Amino acid sequence: MFTGIVTDLGEIRSVTARANNLSRLTIFCRYRRADIAEGASIACSGVCLTVVDTGEEEGRTWFAVDAADETLRLTTVGRWKKGSRVNLERALKLGDELGGHLVAGHVDGLAAVVVRENMTDMARFVLRAPPDLSRFIAPKGSVALDGVSLTVNAVEDDTFSVLIIPHTLQVTTLGTLANGDDVNLEIDTMARYAARLMERR
């Protein structure tokens, strides 16, 4: 589990095709190598991936993960290349501060940026969610976009809007988003269960 609070901005070091439709990605980070255990889970722009190797290169730590075909097809991971920036968050530990909301790292789909409105020291984004996911998004509810926990401001049909504060624009990949870009979307688990209960009634 994660909280949607990004703790590092990583950089793709390499992408290598492997057998069985796997891709191995190595990612530069600022975490200490000693603090990254093989088998650990790290959310990479909202996608929970398992560490399979670690190393250091020119004083920089890197870790490697494998992404399966489904992950490559259904998330933005398949578009990453050398130099791509990714939001990183290590798994939540018992006793850690829950600064955002509970995030599983299981991406539900892609949301597309429809409008980016630059405001004084912040930005407003309007995004379009897949039709089968839009019903789970509600005003004042939570979503994770590329692994960043955000509060929904408004909802209209299959679009919703969020406000991004200056700090988040600076320390995550959201600051580089433009109209037409896709982001990994994870809906709030509580919203999914609430909808399921209503359906059963």
CA distance linking residue 50 with residue 77, whole number of Å: 14
Structure tokens at 65: 């993960």
Write out the two tokens for 187: 């809906």
- Name the catalytic one among 14, 16, 151, 154: 151
Closest CA to 107 of 183, 192, 3, 181: 183
Whether 106 is a known active-site residue: answer yes
Compute the distance between CA of residue 196 and CA of residue 133 in angstroms, rounded to an integer: 13
Backbone angles phi, psi at 147, to 5 degrees: 85, 5
Active site residue 41: yes
50, 84, 159, 189: the catalytic one is 50
- 48 is an active site residue: yes
Q: Looking at this protein, which amino acid is placed at residue 136? A: F
Q: Which residues of 180-189 are buried (b: 16+ CB within 10 A; e: fewer)?
A: ebbbbbbbbb
Q: Based on the residue annotation, tell me whether 136 is a catalytic residue of this protein.
A: no
Respond yes or no: is residue 16 known to be catalytic.
Answer: no
**From the candidates 48, 64, 129, 144, which is the catalytic residue?**
48
What are the respective helix, strand and coil percentages of the chain, to the nearest 5?
A: 20, 45, 35
Structure tokens at 145: 């976009």
**Among residues 14, 16, 68, 167, which one is catalytic?**
68
Q: Which of 14, 106, 167, 194 is catalytic?
A: 106
Q: From the candidates 7, 41, 161, 189, give the one annotated as an active-site residue.
A: 41
Identified catalytic residue from 2, 125, 136, 160: 2
Judge whether 68 counts as a catalytic residue. yes
Catalytic residue set: 2, 41, 48, 50, 68, 106, 151
